[in-house]
Amino acid sequence: MNILITGGKGQLANSIMDLFKRRECSLGKVDEIYFHGQIFCVDKHHLDITSLEHVKSYFKKIKPGIVINTAAYTHVDDCESNIDLAYKINALGPRNLSIICEEIQAKLIHISTDYVFDGKSKIPYKEFDSPHPINIYGKSKYLGEEYVKQFCSKYFILRTSWLYGHKGKNFVKTILKASKEKEVLRVVNDQIGNPTYAEDLAYHILKLGPTKEYGIYHCTGNDSCSWYEFAKAILQYTNSNCKIQPTSSSDYKSVATRPNYSTLDHMMLRCTIGDKMRHWKVALEDFINNYERNVPLS
């Protein structure tokens, strides 16, 4: 079985590829089924998912059995002014992949977001809760989910949030860099969500792949926090002398409205393959320890 991963330069795709190389992580081993074929990890220069004809031609050539779509336009504020591009990548891209996956009866694992919700809930969102996105990014990702459900019969949709990994840009690296350049950092404390280590997400993606447990899943770090609490833990685990202060979202001018509360509940994982996602603090400490070995923080 050949495996295709889109969004090849992103942190999640890199985490999946790293897991393939090591064949295991702290959560467990990778299923042997993945090593019976070739693995193709491609970016937009190799595969334009916004072109149905390009997807069809590429799939005909490599014949994937499982497609993992990590490609997305994730610049939330930029999506507000680049609406067409956001919908092309986040909605039409998944549509095209779904159509061709159905033609060749391949499984599609599509990565979505907590931003499909409006943030008005007071308790963690379950998979059956009705989405109501409040910005273009969330709306385009939600339409992508709808296309996957409409055109593909063998799909897994995994919603995740606040993702960080060893490759690419993310909040953890931003805080680490800023803490070396400034004495005080101000971070918002009125947006609540789930920090997610890309390696933990990658493990669950690969655990779902060989199964027929199709449907929508929430897959994030367990328990929730504010961006301020997240940043505070980052500095704590690096023994930084930088001070951190809580502030309000209203103090920052952002183009796109963010949900104030986007915590996700892992009901589907618990009911099917099991929820081995770690508490976000445990996963973060593991990431920091590994990151320090490769990139000096001083």
- pLDDT tens, residue by residue, 168-211: 899 999 999 999 999 999 999 999 999 999 999 999 999 999 99
φ, ψ for residue 61 (rounded to 5)? Answer: -80, -45
Q: pTM higher than 0.75 for the full model?
A: yes
Q: What share of the chain is helix, strand, coil (3-state, %, to 5)?
A: 45, 20, 35
Least confident among 87-96, 108-117, 118-127, 245-254: 245-254
Query: Which residue blocks in 154-279 are alpha helix, DSSP H?
Result: 171-181, 198-208, 227-237, 267-271
Q: What is the fold, at CATH topology level, of the domain defined by 2-170+194-223+263-279?
A: Rossmann fold (3.40.50)
252 is catalytic: no
Q: Spot the catalytic one: 34, 58, 115, 137.
A: 137
Residue 293 confidence (pLDDT): 58
Residue 22 has pLDDT above 90, yes or no: yes
Tell me the chain's radius of gyration from C-alpha atoms.
19
